[in-house]
Structure formats: structure tokens, C-alpha cells
Structure 1
Amino acid sequence: MRPALFLVLALGLPTAAPSASYNCDLATLNPNERTICAYRDLNDMDVEMATMYRLLTGLFGMGTRGMMQDDQHAWLQQRMACGTDTGCIRQSYRQRIGELQAIYDRIDRPI
């Protein structure tokens, strides 16, 4: 089991019937966000990425958290540039989830 998924399960966070990290019913969604809502796998990737991001930003102090927020903003701009291209969006999520997983893997843990 992937460490991040294990952590989500261990913390008792909801894993059933996920929805995107934003409200898919809003009329103000842009085409990129509507595409993510329309495809279950993209929706699931969004939930995974958002959960990892929230978890990690809660673990770090202001300096590192600020850098992570800057990185997240840059990533969101890159994902938005995908428009409605599902392959591009999928790859964008894979890359960001990988980056967040790498940050998690580098956290010092007691032996």
C-alpha cells in the first residue's frame, strides 16, 4: 500500500465516494475544472493530490509551507493550461502527486 494512502486510511479520513477538492456543482467552474469533475479517474487524482497537499502543508512551518503554496499555485496554472485535454490533465496530476510523495518520503521519521 502506498504510504500516503496508508496515512489517509490511518487518519480515518473519508475515502468512499470522493469528489473533487472543489464543489463540482458550481456554475463558475472553468472548463478545466468541469473536465476533472466529469471523469472519475481525474476526480480521484484531484482528491488524492489535495489530501496529500493538505497533509503536508500541515506538517511544515511557515517558510516551507510558503514554498509549497507557491509550488502549488504554479502547478495549478500549469494544470489549467491543459484546458480540457484529459491526457494532459492526467499527466499533470501524476507529476504533482509524485512531487508530493517525494516530499513525504523525505520527511525524517523516528526509527
Structure 2
Amino acid sequence: MSDTFTLRFAAAISATALAALAVLAAQAGRANAQEFDCRRAGMASERTICRSDVLGALDEKMSGLYAELKQSYGRRSERDQLKRYQRQFLAARNDCGRDTECIKGAYLDQIGVLQAQIERNNRLSER
């Protein structure tokens, strides 16, 4: 084999390995960002979310908004109320079972509510 062929072959293998690592890193990042561990998903709704990139992305978005809002609340009573509301959302989402459109709708509703509350809090803090 020539040195040129060997270098091209090594470069091709390196590019393929890097692409595979990027895919694995993205999947690991998504699994860690989930509200729950997909390896231990027990509810039908959780398993459905783990199998769907769209639902997984919605779960990540909602989880981020929830964390942001929870952190912004100074009073324990506000955080407790947010936790109760989140538990209601989770119950409604879990009632969807494997119905992807139902789960998607639950997430979109919750994301809208959380975003609206964050925007409201931001307006109040600007005063």
C-alpha cells in the first residue's frame, strides 16, 4: 500500500468515527436532558417520548422552562404552587398513554403556560 492510500484510509476512518461519536454524544445529551431516564421509563407515555425526537425535544424545552421558572421564584409558596401545577401536567401527560398527539398537545400547552409566566415575571421585574 502507498502512503497516500494509507493516509486517505485513516482519514476516512477518523471521519466516520467522529461522526459516530457525535451521534452518540447527541443521544447521551438528550437522554440526560430528559425529565426522566429513558432506560428506566416505566409509563407508556415516557416510553413513547423516548422513542420520539419531537416529543423528546418538547420534553427538554418544557423541562428547561420549568427549571428557569422555579429558580426565578423567591418564595417557597410560589415554588410549591409551581410544583403542584407541574404534577397536574405530568398526570395529564401520563393519561395520554401512547397517544403521541395527546402527549404533544399536553407539552405544547404546558410550554405555553410556562413561557407566559416567565414573560409575566420578566415584565414585573422591569418595573
What's the TM-score bracket when you normalise by the shorter of the two chains? 0.7 to 0.9
Moved over 3 A (4+): none
Higher helix content, 1 or 2: 2
What is the deviation of 1:59? 1.0
What secondary structure does 2:48 align onto? helix
TM-score by length of 2: 0.70
Q: What is the distance in 2 between the residues matched to 1:57 and 1:105?
A: 14
Q: What is the distance in 1 between the residues matched to 2:66 and 2:50?
A: 19
Whether 1:36 and 2:49 are equivalent positions in the alignment is yes
What is the deviation of 1:18? 2.4
Q: What is the distance in 1 between the residues matched to 2:120 and 2:96?
A: 29
1:22 to 28, 36, 42: 36
2:64 to 42, 51, 57: 51
Residue ranges of structure 2 left out of the alignment (5+ in a row): 1-25
Aligned to 1:109: 125
Percent identity of paired positions between Structure 1 and Structure 2: 31
Aligned residues: CA RMSD: 1.5
TM-score by length of 1: 0.79
Residue ranges of structure 1 left out of the alignment (5+ in a row): 1-15
What is the deviation of 1:109? 3.2
State the number of aligned residues: 95
Q: What is the distance in 2 between the residues matched to 1:94 and 1:35?
A: 16
